[in-house]
Amino acid sequence: MEKNDVILELINVNKSFDGSIVVENLNLSVQKGEFVTFLGPSGCGKTTTLRMIAGLEMPDSGQILLNGMDIAQLPPHKRPLNTVFQRYALFPHLDVYDNIAFGLKLKKVSYQTTNKQGNVITKTRKYTKDEIDAKVKKALKIVDLESFECRNVTTLSGGQQQRVAIARAIVNEPEILLLDEPLGALDLKMRKEMQLELKEMHKKLGITFIYVTHDQEEALTMSDRIVVIEDGVIQQIGTPLDIYNEPANAFVADFIGESNIYVGTMIGPQKVRFLGTTWDCVDDFEINEKVDVVVRPEDIIIHSPNEGKVKAKIVNKIFKGIHYQFTAMVGNNEVLIQSTVDHPVGQDISLTIEPDLIQIMKREYTANIYEDAYINKNNEVVFAGASWACDVTQLVEGATLDEKGYFITPNGKKYDLDDIDVIATIDMKDIEISDNLEEGNITGQIIQMVWKGDHYQLIIRTEDEEDFIVDTEWTWNESDTVSISIDSSKIKLKLKADLSKYEI
Protein backbone atom coordinates (compact mmCIF):
# COMPACT_ATOMS: atom_id res chain seq x y z
CA MET A 1 0.00 0.00 0.00
CA GLU A 2 1.59 3.21 -1.11
CA LYS A 3 1.03 6.28 1.00
CA ASN A 4 0.11 8.51 -1.93
CA ASP A 5 -2.78 6.24 -2.83
CA VAL A 6 -4.52 7.11 0.41
CA ILE A 7 -7.27 9.62 -0.30
CA LEU A 8 -8.91 9.83 3.11
CA GLU A 9 -7.53 9.23 6.56
CA LEU A 10 -9.36 9.38 9.89
CA ILE A 11 -7.07 9.70 12.87
CA ASN A 12 -8.30 9.26 16.47
CA VAL A 13 -11.70 10.68 15.66
CA ASN A 14 -14.07 11.07 18.62
CA LYS A 15 -17.63 12.30 18.75
CA SER A 16 -20.22 12.36 21.48
CA PHE A 17 -23.76 13.74 21.69
CA ASP A 18 -25.03 15.02 25.02
CA GLY A 19 -22.33 13.16 26.89
CA SER A 20 -22.85 9.76 25.29
CA ILE A 21 -20.01 8.59 23.10
CA VAL A 22 -21.06 7.80 19.55
CA VAL A 23 -17.69 7.37 17.86
CA GLU A 24 -14.64 6.43 19.89
CA ASN A 25 -11.03 6.72 18.74
CA LEU A 26 -11.73 5.82 15.16
CA ASN A 27 -8.78 5.25 12.84
CA LEU A 28 -9.23 4.42 9.20
CA SER A 29 -7.62 5.04 5.87
CA VAL A 30 -9.32 4.76 2.51
CA GLN A 31 -7.55 4.11 -0.78
CA LYS A 32 -8.25 6.10 -3.90
CA GLY A 33 -10.96 4.45 -5.99
CA GLU A 34 -11.97 2.02 -3.27
CA PHE A 35 -15.52 0.97 -2.39
CA VAL A 36 -15.57 1.00 1.41
CA THR A 37 -18.66 0.08 3.41
CA PHE A 38 -19.40 1.00 7.02
CA LEU A 39 -21.49 -1.85 8.35
CA GLY A 40 -23.17 -2.07 11.71
CA PRO A 41 -26.51 -2.14 13.52
CA SER A 42 -28.49 1.08 13.84
CA GLY A 43 -27.06 3.51 16.34
CA CYS A 44 -23.54 2.10 16.07
CA GLY A 45 -21.99 5.37 14.88
CA LYS A 46 -21.58 4.52 11.20
CA THR A 47 -23.79 7.34 9.94
CA THR A 48 -22.18 9.81 12.35
CA THR A 49 -18.76 8.85 10.96
CA LEU A 50 -19.99 9.46 7.42
CA ARG A 51 -21.51 12.78 8.43
CA MET A 52 -18.21 13.83 9.96
CA ILE A 53 -16.48 13.07 6.67
CA ALA A 54 -19.16 15.09 4.83
CA GLY A 55 -18.80 17.96 7.30
CA LEU A 56 -22.37 17.78 8.57
CA GLU A 57 -21.02 16.96 12.04
CA MET A 58 -17.77 18.23 13.49
CA PRO A 59 -15.65 15.72 15.40
CA ASP A 60 -14.93 16.54 19.07
CA SER A 61 -11.30 15.62 18.50
CA GLY A 62 -9.15 13.95 15.88
CA GLN A 63 -8.17 14.62 12.31
CA ILE A 64 -9.83 13.90 9.00
CA LEU A 65 -7.22 14.10 6.24
CA LEU A 66 -8.32 14.44 2.65
CA ASN A 67 -5.29 14.05 0.38
CA GLY A 68 -3.17 14.86 3.42
CA MET A 69 -5.03 18.07 4.34
CA ASP A 70 -6.98 18.25 7.59
CA ILE A 71 -10.61 19.03 6.76
CA ALA A 72 -12.09 18.10 10.14
CA GLN A 73 -13.31 21.62 10.92
CA LEU A 74 -14.10 22.70 7.35
CA PRO A 75 -17.79 23.48 6.63
CA PRO A 76 -19.48 21.04 4.23
CA HIS A 77 -19.75 23.46 1.31
CA LYS A 78 -15.98 23.79 1.18
CA ARG A 79 -15.32 20.05 0.94
CA PRO A 80 -14.95 18.42 -2.48
CA LEU A 81 -17.21 15.55 -1.37
CA ASN A 82 -20.83 14.85 -2.09
CA THR A 83 -23.43 12.84 -0.26
CA VAL A 84 -26.38 10.73 -1.33
CA PHE A 85 -28.80 11.03 1.58
CA GLN A 86 -30.88 8.31 3.11
CA ARG A 87 -34.22 9.96 2.30
CA TYR A 88 -32.84 11.48 -0.90
CA ALA A 89 -33.30 15.09 0.34
CA LEU A 90 -34.21 16.34 -3.13
CA PHE A 91 -35.39 19.92 -3.43
CA PRO A 92 -39.17 19.75 -3.90
CA HIS A 93 -39.35 23.21 -5.47
CA LEU A 94 -36.98 22.32 -8.31
CA ASP A 95 -37.47 19.91 -11.19
CA VAL A 96 -35.13 17.03 -11.94
CA TYR A 97 -32.82 19.11 -14.12
CA ASP A 98 -32.47 21.96 -11.60
CA ASN A 99 -31.95 19.55 -8.74
CA ILE A 100 -29.00 18.03 -10.56
CA ALA A 101 -27.67 21.41 -11.71
CA PHE A 102 -27.87 22.90 -8.18
CA GLY A 103 -24.26 22.13 -7.28
CA LEU A 104 -22.88 22.95 -10.73
CA LYS A 105 -24.40 26.44 -10.70
CA LEU A 106 -22.49 27.21 -7.49
CA LYS A 107 -19.21 25.60 -8.45
CA LYS A 108 -16.25 27.68 -9.50
CA VAL A 109 -13.61 26.32 -11.84
CA SER A 110 -10.14 27.70 -12.19
CA TYR A 111 -8.68 28.46 -15.58
CA GLN A 112 -5.47 30.01 -16.80
CA THR A 113 -5.27 33.19 -18.78
CA THR A 114 -2.66 35.71 -19.81
CA ASN A 115 -2.95 39.20 -18.34
CA LYS A 116 -1.86 42.51 -19.87
CA GLN A 117 1.71 42.07 -18.66
CA GLY A 118 1.87 38.76 -20.45
CA ASN A 119 1.98 36.62 -17.31
CA VAL A 120 -0.06 33.48 -17.03
CA ILE A 121 -2.45 33.81 -14.10
CA THR A 122 -5.11 31.57 -12.65
CA LYS A 123 -8.63 32.90 -12.39
CA THR A 124 -11.89 31.29 -11.36
CA ARG A 125 -15.17 31.42 -13.20
CA LYS A 126 -18.54 29.76 -13.04
CA TYR A 127 -19.64 27.07 -15.44
CA THR A 128 -21.38 28.34 -18.54
CA LYS A 129 -24.94 27.29 -19.30
CA ASP A 130 -23.77 24.93 -22.03
CA GLU A 131 -21.22 23.26 -19.78
CA ILE A 132 -23.85 22.74 -17.08
CA ASP A 133 -26.27 21.41 -19.65
CA ALA A 134 -23.74 18.90 -20.99
CA LYS A 135 -22.82 17.70 -17.50
CA VAL A 136 -26.44 17.33 -16.36
CA LYS A 137 -27.32 15.38 -19.51
CA LYS A 138 -24.35 13.09 -18.97
CA ALA A 139 -25.31 12.47 -15.33
CA LEU A 140 -28.91 11.74 -16.34
CA LYS A 141 -27.59 9.23 -18.83
CA ILE A 142 -25.47 7.51 -16.20
CA VAL A 143 -28.50 7.02 -13.94
CA ASP A 144 -30.81 6.11 -16.85
CA LEU A 145 -33.21 9.02 -16.49
CA GLU A 146 -32.65 10.73 -19.83
CA SER A 147 -36.22 11.80 -20.53
CA PHE A 148 -37.00 12.98 -17.00
CA GLU A 149 -35.35 16.43 -17.08
CA CYS A 150 -38.49 18.50 -16.64
CA ARG A 151 -40.33 16.18 -14.27
CA ASN A 152 -41.28 17.41 -10.85
CA VAL A 153 -39.25 15.36 -8.35
CA THR A 154 -42.31 14.75 -6.19
CA THR A 155 -44.00 12.81 -8.97
CA LEU A 156 -41.15 10.29 -9.21
CA SER A 157 -41.09 6.82 -7.64
CA GLY A 158 -38.67 6.05 -4.82
CA GLY A 159 -36.21 4.37 -7.17
CA GLN A 160 -36.29 7.28 -9.59
CA GLN A 161 -35.82 9.81 -6.78
CA GLN A 162 -32.84 7.78 -5.64
CA ARG A 163 -31.36 7.98 -9.14
CA VAL A 164 -31.83 11.75 -9.18
CA ALA A 165 -30.11 11.97 -5.78
CA ILE A 166 -27.17 9.96 -7.11
CA ALA A 167 -26.99 12.05 -10.29
CA ARG A 168 -27.09 15.25 -8.22
CA ALA A 169 -24.07 14.04 -6.26
CA ILE A 170 -21.91 12.55 -9.05
CA VAL A 171 -22.46 15.45 -11.44
CA ASN A 172 -20.11 17.53 -9.25
CA GLU A 173 -17.33 14.98 -9.79
CA PRO A 174 -16.58 14.66 -6.07
CA GLU A 175 -13.31 13.15 -4.92
CA ILE A 176 -15.31 10.84 -2.68
CA LEU A 177 -18.97 9.94 -2.96
CA LEU A 178 -20.61 9.34 0.40
CA LEU A 179 -23.74 7.19 0.46
CA ASP A 180 -25.84 7.05 3.62
CA GLU A 181 -28.04 3.93 3.45
CA PRO A 182 -29.17 5.09 0.00
CA LEU A 183 -31.21 1.98 -0.73
CA GLY A 184 -32.88 1.69 2.66
CA ALA A 185 -36.26 2.97 1.50
CA LEU A 186 -36.52 0.79 -1.61
CA ASP A 187 -38.23 -2.59 -1.88
CA LEU A 188 -36.12 -5.73 -2.04
CA LYS A 189 -36.15 -6.26 -5.81
CA MET A 190 -35.38 -2.62 -6.56
CA ARG A 191 -32.64 -2.68 -3.95
CA LYS A 192 -30.89 -5.64 -5.57
CA GLU A 193 -31.02 -3.94 -8.95
CA MET A 194 -29.65 -0.68 -7.60
CA GLN A 195 -26.85 -2.53 -5.77
CA LEU A 196 -25.56 -3.89 -9.04
CA GLU A 197 -26.01 -0.56 -10.79
CA LEU A 198 -24.13 1.30 -8.06
CA LYS A 199 -21.32 -1.22 -8.25
CA GLU A 200 -21.22 -0.76 -12.02
CA MET A 201 -21.23 3.03 -11.59
CA HIS A 202 -18.33 2.79 -9.17
CA LYS A 203 -16.30 0.87 -11.73
CA LYS A 204 -17.14 3.27 -14.53
CA LEU A 205 -16.61 6.55 -12.66
CA GLY A 206 -13.50 5.56 -10.73
CA ILE A 207 -14.63 7.72 -7.77
CA THR A 208 -14.00 6.52 -4.22
CA PHE A 209 -17.26 5.36 -2.64
CA ILE A 210 -17.93 5.30 1.09
CA TYR A 211 -21.16 3.47 1.73
CA VAL A 212 -23.12 3.11 4.95
CA THR A 213 -25.51 0.24 5.50
CA HIS A 214 -26.88 -2.04 8.20
CA ASP A 215 -27.57 -4.77 5.62
CA GLN A 216 -24.75 -7.29 5.77
CA GLU A 217 -25.70 -8.88 2.46
CA GLU A 218 -25.54 -5.51 0.74
CA ALA A 219 -22.11 -4.89 2.26
CA LEU A 220 -20.82 -8.30 1.17
CA THR A 221 -22.14 -7.85 -2.38
CA MET A 222 -20.82 -4.40 -3.11
CA SER A 223 -17.71 -3.60 -1.14
CA ASP A 224 -13.99 -3.84 -1.74
CA ARG A 225 -13.53 -3.48 1.99
CA ILE A 226 -15.97 -3.60 4.89
CA VAL A 227 -15.55 -1.71 8.15
CA VAL A 228 -17.68 -3.38 10.83
CA ILE A 229 -18.62 -0.85 13.51
CA GLU A 230 -20.37 -1.56 16.78
CA ASP A 231 -20.91 0.85 19.64
CA GLY A 232 -18.74 3.54 18.03
CA VAL A 233 -15.72 1.26 17.76
CA ILE A 234 -14.34 -0.49 14.68
CA GLN A 235 -14.65 -4.24 15.24
CA GLN A 236 -12.99 -5.41 12.05
CA ILE A 237 -11.76 -4.09 8.72
CA GLY A 238 -11.33 -6.47 5.84
CA THR A 239 -12.49 -7.72 2.48
CA PRO A 240 -15.95 -9.32 2.41
CA LEU A 241 -14.28 -12.74 2.24
CA ASP A 242 -12.06 -12.06 5.28
CA ILE A 243 -14.94 -10.75 7.32
CA TYR A 244 -17.14 -13.69 6.48
CA ASN A 245 -14.56 -16.43 6.88
CA GLU A 246 -12.53 -15.03 9.70
CA PRO A 247 -14.67 -12.81 11.90
CA ALA A 248 -12.60 -11.07 14.52
CA ASN A 249 -15.04 -11.63 17.35
CA ALA A 250 -18.41 -13.07 18.28
CA PHE A 251 -20.21 -9.84 17.43
CA VAL A 252 -18.91 -9.79 13.86
CA ALA A 253 -19.64 -13.48 13.42
CA ASP A 254 -23.18 -13.02 14.67
CA PHE A 255 -23.79 -9.89 12.61
CA ILE A 256 -22.42 -11.17 9.30
CA GLY A 257 -24.37 -14.11 8.01
CA GLU A 258 -25.76 -16.95 10.08
CA SER A 259 -23.45 -18.59 12.53
CA ASN A 260 -23.22 -20.99 15.44
CA ILE A 261 -21.32 -19.46 18.33
CA TYR A 262 -20.28 -21.57 21.32
CA VAL A 263 -18.16 -21.17 24.39
CA GLY A 264 -15.31 -23.63 24.09
CA THR A 265 -12.18 -24.58 26.01
CA MET A 266 -8.74 -25.17 24.57
CA ILE A 267 -7.59 -28.53 25.85
CA GLY A 268 -4.43 -29.09 23.87
CA PRO A 269 -2.43 -27.80 20.93
CA GLN A 270 -4.96 -27.20 18.13
CA LYS A 271 -7.63 -29.04 20.07
CA VAL A 272 -10.79 -27.38 21.29
CA ARG A 273 -13.69 -28.78 23.28
CA PHE A 274 -17.26 -27.72 22.58
CA LEU A 275 -20.59 -29.46 21.93
CA GLY A 276 -19.40 -32.12 24.39
CA THR A 277 -16.60 -33.36 22.14
CA THR A 278 -13.00 -32.54 21.36
CA TRP A 279 -12.42 -31.13 17.89
CA ASP A 280 -9.28 -30.64 15.87
CA CYS A 281 -8.78 -27.06 14.83
CA VAL A 282 -6.08 -24.92 13.26
CA ASP A 283 -5.80 -22.15 15.85
CA ASP A 284 -3.57 -22.14 18.91
CA PHE A 285 -4.52 -20.60 22.22
CA GLU A 286 -3.32 -21.19 25.74
CA ILE A 287 -4.43 -24.50 27.17
CA ASN A 288 -7.55 -24.29 29.35
CA GLU A 289 -8.40 -20.85 27.98
CA LYS A 290 -12.09 -20.25 27.40
CA VAL A 291 -12.69 -19.22 23.80
CA ASP A 292 -15.54 -18.31 21.44
CA VAL A 293 -16.01 -20.88 18.69
CA VAL A 294 -17.77 -19.92 15.45
CA VAL A 295 -18.99 -22.44 12.90
CA ARG A 296 -20.96 -21.39 9.81
CA PRO A 297 -24.14 -23.46 9.25
CA GLU A 298 -23.03 -24.44 5.73
CA ASP A 299 -19.74 -25.86 7.08
CA ILE A 300 -21.40 -28.56 9.17
CA ILE A 301 -21.80 -31.89 7.41
CA ILE A 302 -24.64 -34.27 8.24
CA HIS A 303 -23.95 -38.00 8.42
CA SER A 304 -25.97 -41.01 9.44
CA PRO A 305 -25.70 -41.82 13.17
CA ASN A 306 -22.35 -43.18 14.36
CA GLU A 307 -20.50 -42.02 11.25
CA GLY A 308 -19.81 -38.52 12.49
CA LYS A 309 -18.01 -37.03 15.44
CA VAL A 310 -21.00 -36.06 17.52
CA LYS A 311 -24.58 -37.27 17.70
CA ALA A 312 -27.47 -34.92 17.07
CA LYS A 313 -31.20 -34.92 16.49
CA ILE A 314 -33.00 -32.73 13.99
CA VAL A 315 -35.74 -30.70 15.69
CA ASN A 316 -36.70 -28.18 13.04
CA LYS A 317 -36.48 -27.67 9.29
CA ILE A 318 -37.03 -24.65 7.04
CA PHE A 319 -36.89 -24.73 3.25
CA LYS A 320 -34.95 -21.71 2.05
CA GLY A 321 -35.06 -22.10 -1.72
CA ILE A 322 -31.60 -23.39 -2.55
CA HIS A 323 -31.04 -25.24 0.71
CA TYR A 324 -32.70 -26.53 3.84
CA GLN A 325 -31.91 -25.01 7.17
CA PHE A 326 -32.02 -27.52 10.01
CA THR A 327 -31.92 -26.93 13.71
CA ALA A 328 -30.38 -29.91 15.49
CA MET A 329 -29.80 -30.48 19.18
CA VAL A 330 -26.49 -31.73 20.51
CA GLY A 331 -27.23 -32.19 24.20
CA ASN A 332 -28.50 -28.76 25.28
CA ASN A 333 -26.85 -26.93 22.43
CA GLU A 334 -28.64 -25.80 19.31
CA VAL A 335 -26.80 -26.29 16.03
CA LEU A 336 -27.84 -24.51 12.85
CA ILE A 337 -27.05 -26.54 9.74
CA GLN A 338 -27.56 -25.77 6.07
CA SER A 339 -27.71 -28.58 3.60
CA THR A 340 -29.12 -29.19 0.12
CA VAL A 341 -30.07 -32.73 1.12
CA ASP A 342 -33.43 -33.17 2.82
CA HIS A 343 -33.73 -34.95 6.17
CA PRO A 344 -36.95 -35.47 8.13
CA VAL A 345 -37.53 -33.73 11.44
CA GLY A 346 -36.88 -36.08 14.34
CA GLN A 347 -34.14 -38.01 12.55
CA ASP A 348 -31.02 -39.00 14.49
CA ILE A 349 -27.89 -37.84 12.73
CA SER A 350 -24.26 -37.16 13.46
CA LEU A 351 -22.10 -34.23 12.52
CA THR A 352 -18.57 -33.47 11.39
CA ILE A 353 -16.78 -30.17 10.83
CA GLU A 354 -13.50 -29.72 8.98
CA PRO A 355 -10.75 -28.39 11.31
CA ASP A 356 -10.05 -25.29 9.19
CA LEU A 357 -13.73 -24.31 9.24
CA ILE A 358 -13.77 -24.05 13.02
CA GLN A 359 -13.08 -20.41 13.74
CA ILE A 360 -11.69 -19.77 17.22
CA MET A 361 -11.63 -16.35 18.78
CA LYS A 362 -10.41 -14.90 22.01
CA ARG A 363 -13.30 -14.18 24.35
CA GLU A 364 -13.88 -10.47 24.72
CA TYR A 365 -15.51 -10.79 28.08
CA THR A 366 -14.89 -13.42 30.70
CA ALA A 367 -16.43 -11.70 33.70
CA ASN A 368 -17.75 -8.34 34.84
CA ILE A 369 -14.89 -6.54 36.52
CA TYR A 370 -15.34 -3.13 38.11
CA GLU A 371 -11.96 -1.64 38.96
CA ASP A 372 -13.30 1.54 40.49
CA ALA A 373 -15.65 0.06 43.07
CA TYR A 374 -15.63 1.14 46.71
CA ILE A 375 -17.34 0.21 49.97
CA ASN A 376 -19.82 2.68 51.48
CA LYS A 377 -20.64 3.21 55.16
CA ASN A 378 -23.34 0.51 55.08
CA ASN A 379 -20.73 -2.04 54.01
CA GLU A 380 -22.28 -2.18 50.56
CA VAL A 381 -20.13 -2.13 47.47
CA VAL A 382 -20.70 0.75 45.02
CA PHE A 383 -20.06 0.32 41.30
CA ALA A 384 -21.77 1.05 37.99
CA GLY A 385 -23.74 3.83 39.61
CA ALA A 386 -25.53 1.69 42.21
CA SER A 387 -24.81 0.18 45.60
CA TRP A 388 -25.02 -3.56 46.09
CA ALA A 389 -25.31 -5.74 49.15
CA CYS A 390 -22.21 -7.91 49.43
CA ASP A 391 -20.19 -9.95 51.86
CA VAL A 392 -17.27 -7.72 52.87
CA THR A 393 -15.77 -10.31 55.21
CA GLN A 394 -14.25 -12.06 52.20
CA LEU A 395 -11.69 -9.23 51.93
CA VAL A 396 -9.58 -10.80 54.65
CA GLU A 397 -9.84 -14.48 55.42
CA GLY A 398 -11.57 -15.15 58.73
CA ALA A 399 -12.68 -11.56 59.21
CA THR A 400 -15.98 -10.69 60.89
CA LEU A 401 -18.20 -7.66 61.35
CA ASP A 402 -19.09 -6.35 64.79
CA GLU A 403 -22.59 -5.12 65.72
CA LYS A 404 -21.75 -1.56 64.64
CA GLY A 405 -20.58 -2.74 61.25
CA TYR A 406 -16.86 -2.33 61.87
CA PHE A 407 -14.57 -4.82 60.24
CA ILE A 408 -12.65 -7.09 62.63
CA THR A 409 -9.72 -9.11 61.30
CA PRO A 410 -8.70 -12.44 62.92
CA ASN A 411 -5.77 -10.70 64.65
CA GLY A 412 -8.24 -8.45 66.49
CA LYS A 413 -7.71 -5.21 64.62
CA LYS A 414 -10.73 -3.00 63.90
CA TYR A 415 -11.31 -1.14 60.64
CA ASP A 416 -13.88 1.27 59.23
CA LEU A 417 -14.25 0.20 55.61
CA ASP A 418 -16.16 3.36 54.55
CA ASP A 419 -14.77 4.63 51.21
CA ILE A 420 -12.15 1.91 50.76
CA ASP A 421 -11.35 1.09 47.12
CA VAL A 422 -11.97 -2.46 45.95
CA ILE A 423 -12.19 -4.41 42.72
CA ALA A 424 -15.54 -6.15 42.27
CA THR A 425 -15.87 -9.18 40.01
CA ILE A 426 -19.14 -10.85 39.09
CA ASP A 427 -19.45 -13.86 36.89
CA MET A 428 -21.61 -13.35 33.81
CA LYS A 429 -24.03 -16.10 34.82
CA ASP A 430 -24.52 -14.65 38.32
CA ILE A 431 -26.33 -11.51 37.21
CA GLU A 432 -30.11 -11.72 37.31
CA ILE A 433 -32.16 -9.55 35.02
CA SER A 434 -35.86 -8.87 35.22
CA ASP A 435 -38.44 -6.90 33.32
CA ASN A 436 -39.87 -5.73 36.63
CA LEU A 437 -37.91 -2.51 36.83
CA GLU A 438 -38.52 -2.19 40.59
CA GLU A 439 -36.87 -5.48 41.34
CA GLY A 440 -33.21 -4.77 40.75
CA ASN A 441 -30.74 -2.18 41.98
CA ILE A 442 -30.33 -0.44 38.65
CA THR A 443 -31.91 -0.50 35.21
CA GLY A 444 -30.29 -0.63 31.81
CA GLN A 445 -30.95 -1.27 28.17
CA ILE A 446 -29.97 -4.39 26.28
CA ILE A 447 -27.63 -3.13 23.57
CA GLN A 448 -26.31 -6.39 22.21
CA MET A 449 -27.44 -9.99 22.21
CA VAL A 450 -25.52 -12.97 20.83
CA TRP A 451 -26.81 -16.57 20.88
CA LYS A 452 -24.15 -19.01 22.03
CA GLY A 453 -25.64 -22.43 21.38
CA ASP A 454 -27.35 -22.89 24.72
CA HIS A 455 -27.57 -19.38 26.11
CA TYR A 456 -27.61 -15.74 25.14
CA GLN A 457 -24.85 -13.33 26.02
CA LEU A 458 -26.30 -9.88 26.59
CA ILE A 459 -24.66 -6.53 27.10
CA ILE A 460 -26.79 -4.28 29.27
CA ARG A 461 -25.88 -0.63 29.40
CA THR A 462 -27.01 1.65 32.20
CA GLU A 463 -27.78 5.33 31.83
CA ASP A 464 -24.29 6.16 33.10
CA GLU A 465 -22.81 4.09 30.25
CA GLU A 466 -21.73 1.26 32.52
CA ASP A 467 -21.95 -2.18 30.94
CA PHE A 468 -23.03 -5.48 32.44
CA ILE A 469 -22.28 -8.68 30.53
CA VAL A 470 -24.94 -11.26 31.32
CA ASP A 471 -25.33 -14.90 30.33
CA THR A 472 -28.94 -15.95 30.32
CA GLU A 473 -31.01 -18.81 28.96
CA TRP A 474 -34.04 -16.60 28.46
CA THR A 475 -34.86 -14.72 25.30
CA TRP A 476 -34.94 -10.94 25.53
CA ASN A 477 -35.14 -8.30 22.87
CA GLU A 478 -32.51 -5.81 21.91
CA SER A 479 -33.24 -2.35 23.38
CA ASP A 480 -35.45 -3.82 26.15
CA THR A 481 -35.06 -2.02 29.45
CA VAL A 482 -34.40 -4.42 32.31
CA SER A 483 -33.44 -4.23 35.95
CA ILE A 484 -30.31 -5.87 37.27
CA SER A 485 -29.87 -7.64 40.58
CA ILE A 486 -26.93 -9.63 41.91
CA ASP A 487 -26.92 -12.21 44.69
CA SER A 488 -24.78 -10.72 47.48
CA SER A 489 -22.76 -13.94 47.90
CA LYS A 490 -21.81 -13.88 44.18
CA ILE A 491 -19.94 -10.56 44.27
CA LYS A 492 -16.25 -11.22 44.62
CA LEU A 493 -14.27 -8.41 46.19
CA LYS A 494 -10.56 -7.72 46.26
CA LEU A 495 -8.79 -4.97 48.19
CA LYS A 496 -7.21 -2.33 46.04
CA ALA A 497 -5.90 -0.02 48.77
CA ASP A 498 -3.81 -0.60 51.86
CA LEU A 499 -6.15 -1.73 54.64
CA SER A 500 -4.00 -0.30 57.44
CA LYS A 501 -5.05 3.28 56.58
CA TYR A 502 -8.59 2.43 57.59
CA GLU A 503 -7.72 1.11 61.05
CA ILE A 504 -9.51 2.76 63.97
**The only residue of 33, 41, 43, 76 in contact with another protein, by rule CB under 8 A:** 76
Q: Which is nearer to another protein, 163 or 452 (CB)?
A: 163
**The only residue of 12, 27, 68, 75 in contact with another protein, by rule CB under 8 A:** 75
Q: Does 77 bind another protein (CB under 8 A)?
A: yes
- The least distance separating another protein from the CB of residue 189, rounded to whole angstroms, comes to 26
Q: Does 448 bind another protein (CB under 8 A)?
A: no
Residue closest to 105 by CA, chosen among 133, 85, 83: 133
The piece of 17-25, 81-89, 123-131, 479-487 that touches another protein (CB under 8 A) is: 81-89
Q: Which is nearer to another protein, 78 or 189 (CB)?
A: 78
In whole angstroms, give the CA distance from residue 454 to residue 450.
11
Dihedral pair phi/psi, residue 482, rounded to 5°: -135, 160
Binding to another protein, residues 36-55 (CB under 8 A): 54-55
Q: Does 362 bind another protein (CB under 8 A)?
A: no
Neighbouring residues of 232: CB distance < 8 A, sequence distance ≥ 6: 21, 22, 23, 24, 26, 44, 45
**CB 491, CB 416: distance < 8 Å:** no
Site string for another protein, 163-202 (x = CB under 8 A): -----xx--x------------------------------
Neighbouring residues of 140: CB distance < 8 A, sequence distance ≥ 6: 96, 100, 146, 148, 149, 167
**CB 299, CB 357: distance < 8 Å:** yes
The piece of 84-92, 122-130, 205-213, 275-283 that touches another protein (CB under 8 A) is: 84-92
Q: Does 150 bind another protein (CB under 8 A)?
A: no
Q: Does 113 bind another protein (CB under 8 A)?
A: no
Q: Does 103 bind another protein (CB under 8 A)?
A: yes
**The only residue of 32, 107, 343, 362 in contact with another protein, by rule CB under 8 A:** 107
- The least distance separating another protein from the CB of residue 86, rounded to whole angstroms, comes to 8
Neighbouring residues of 4: CB distance < 8 A, sequence distance ≥ 6: none
**The only residue of 49, 83, 195, 425 in contact with another protein, by rule CB under 8 A:** 83
Neighbouring residues of 330: CB distance < 8 A, sequence distance ≥ 6: 275, 276, 310, 311, 312, 351
Residue closest to 36 by CA, chosen among 56, 57, 53, 60: 53
- The least distance separating another protein from the CB of residue 444, rounded to whole angstroms, comes to 27
- The least distance separating another protein from the CB of residue 93, rounded to whole angstroms, comes to 4
Residue closest to 26 by CA, chosen among 43, 5, 11, 47: 11
Neighbouring residues of 434: CB distance < 8 A, sequence distance ≥ 6: 440, 482, 483, 485
Binding to another protein, residues 209-238 (CB under 8 A): none
Residue/partner pairs of 379-387 with CB below 8 Å, 24 or more apart:
379/405, 379/407, 379/417, 381/422, 381/424, 381/491, 381/493, 383/424, 383/466, 384/442, 384/462, 384/464, 384/466, 384/468, 385/442, 385/462, 385/463, 385/464, 385/466, 386/441, 386/442, 386/462, 387/441
- The least distance separating another protein from the CB of residue 65, rounded to whole angstroms, comes to 19
Q: Does 74 bind another protein (CB under 8 A)?
A: no
**CB 145, CB 63: distance < 8 Å:** no
**The only residue of 91, 134, 203, 318 in contact with another protein, by rule CB under 8 A:** 91
**The only residue of 21, 29, 43, 87 in contact with another protein, by rule CB under 8 A:** 87
Residue 497 DSSP label: S
**CB 273, CB 279: distance < 8 Å:** yes
**The only residue of 12, 67, 152, 239 in contact with another protein, by rule CB under 8 A:** 152
Q: Does 127 bind another protein (CB under 8 A)?
A: no
Q: Does 154 bind another protein (CB under 8 A)?
A: yes
Q: Which is nearer to another protein, 169 or 375 (CB)?
A: 169
Q: Which is nearer to another protein, 99 or 338 (CB)?
A: 99
**The only residue of 19, 92, 118, 321 in contact with another protein, by rule CB under 8 A:** 92
Q: What angle do CA 387, 392, 397 make, to 5 degrees?
A: 160
Q: Which is nearer to another protein, 54 or 300 (CB)?
A: 54
Q: Which is nearer to another protein, 103 or 440 (CB)?
A: 103
- The least distance separating another protein from the CB of residue 15, rounded to whole angstroms, comes to 16
If phi > 0 it is left, if psi is from -120 to 50 it is alpha, else beta; for residue 192 that is alpha
Residues near another protein, by CB under 8 A: 54-56, 75-77, 81-83, 85-87, 89-94, 102-103, 106-107, 152, 154-155, 168-169, 172
